[in-house]
Structure 1
Amino acid sequence: MKLCRCPICHSNLHLEALIEDEAGRELLAKISQLTHGVAKPMVAYLGLFKPAQSNLSNSRALKIMGDVLELYECSKLLAHCLSETVQSVRKKRLNGQNMEPLANHNYLKSVYETQKATFVTQPAMRAETPEQRLKEDKNRTAIEYIQRYVNLGQEDYVKNTPEYQIWLDWENKQNNG
């Protein structure tokens, strides 16, 4: 069954191809079960382990994801740390530093330890509704999108977008405590 076209290479993406092997099925199942907005940054984090001349196998990606989930439980803190790690490593690679794929989770561990002190974890008072999760994911995506432009010094290109206002509100909250 043809799902869609790849936004990068424009080839057809088939559901059968995604679940062809056991590791692929298990990987998709685990990613779909991640909570607290961890799925998207986890997929990006897995990409940091991809060898330069080949693809990352599903079994290796599954092992890497399992290692991360053994170290840390799904939380907003983990989602944030994964995003920060991905953003930092990609920035270094763009600057020509450390082009090698990651070999371990040491960088994520250091980011996690650094961010843990600034994150206040509170027990959930009520269950999150799907609408709340969707809105939160949309806001997180908007913030990450604009933050990339800001990091590249290209903020002027996105100042008139609705995402910029979301990012600006978030940035003001971060600066004001």
Structure 2
Amino acid sequence: MILHCPLCHGQFSIEALIQDQAGRDLLVLMAQNGAIGPQLLQYLTLFRSQKRALAFDRALRLAREVLEIPAAPEHLAAAMAETVEALRGRGGKPLKNHNYLKRVLESQPQVAMPAATAAAVPAPEAAPAISKTARAIGRLEGWKNR
């Protein structure tokens, strides 16, 4: 079965996607993050060059990096949408990192996190012995339990 991407207009076989481990992992990641999945897919197209497709393993790595950014899902989705809108028609080189997205996130007004999520995520000042990874996992657990 041949699929046509509505974003990049590329064509690929669903069988090839499923046979590739990174492709399967990317599908699972998108399914688990369904609320921000469309914005994430559009954002990932900014990393694709004009002449080459974005490999599944690179797309998976980039998606994981984006989801590790410490921000509420709705803020992250809005920042990705704003980034795509700002950079879509520039016709330049593909993005190499997430610095532009991070700047967009910093420029957005921050809304206080809900009490349930805030309680699940320890403040960095209160618990300096907890690693960034542990705090990120706590945030993800908080988002999952909403």
TM-score range, shorter chain: 0.5 to 0.7
Q: Measure the CA separation in 2 of the matches of 1:52 and 1:15.
A: 22
Alpha-carbon distance in 1 for matches of 2:97, 2:53: 17
Give aligned pairs, total: 114
Q: Quote how far apart the aligned CAs of 1:124 are.
A: 7.1
> Where does structure 2 lack aligned partners over 5 or more consecutive residues?
117-146
Q: Name the structure 1 match of 2:94.
A: 101
Max radius of gyration: which structure? 1
Q: CA deviation at 1:10?
A: 9.5
Cα deviation for residue 6 of structure 1 reads 2.6
1:28 is aligned with what amino acid? L
Q: Which residue identity lines up with residue 24 of structure 1 in the other structure? A: G
Counterparts of 1:113-128 in structure 2, within 5 Å, are: 113-115=106-108, 118-123=109-114
Is 1:61–2:59 an aligned residue pair?
yes
Listed as ranges, the gaps of 5+ residues in structure 1 are 94-98, 126-177
Q: Structure with the greater relative contact order (CA < 8 A, sep ≥ 6): 1 or 2?
A: 2
Q: Aligned-pair RMSD on alpha carbons?
A: 2.5
AA aligned to 1:120 is V
CA change 1:112–1:7 in 2 (3 A) is closer
**Aligned pairs for 1:1-177 within 5 A:** 2=1, 6=4, 14-35=13-34, 37-73=35-71, 75-93=73-91, 99-115=92-108, 118-123=109-114
- Cα distance in 2 for residues equivalent to 1:10 and 1:105: 23
What's the CA shift for 1:14?
4.8
Identity %: 37
| More divergent stretch after superposition (81-90 vs 65-74) | 65-74
**8 Å Cα contact 1:81-1:111 kept in structure 2:** yes
Q: Assess if the C-alpha contact under 8 Å between 1:32 and 1:39 holds in 2.
A: yes
CA apart distance, 1:73 = 4.7
Shift of the alpha carbon at 1:59? 0.2
Tell me the SS of whatever aligns to 1:83. helix
CA distance in 2, matches of 1:72, 1:114: 14
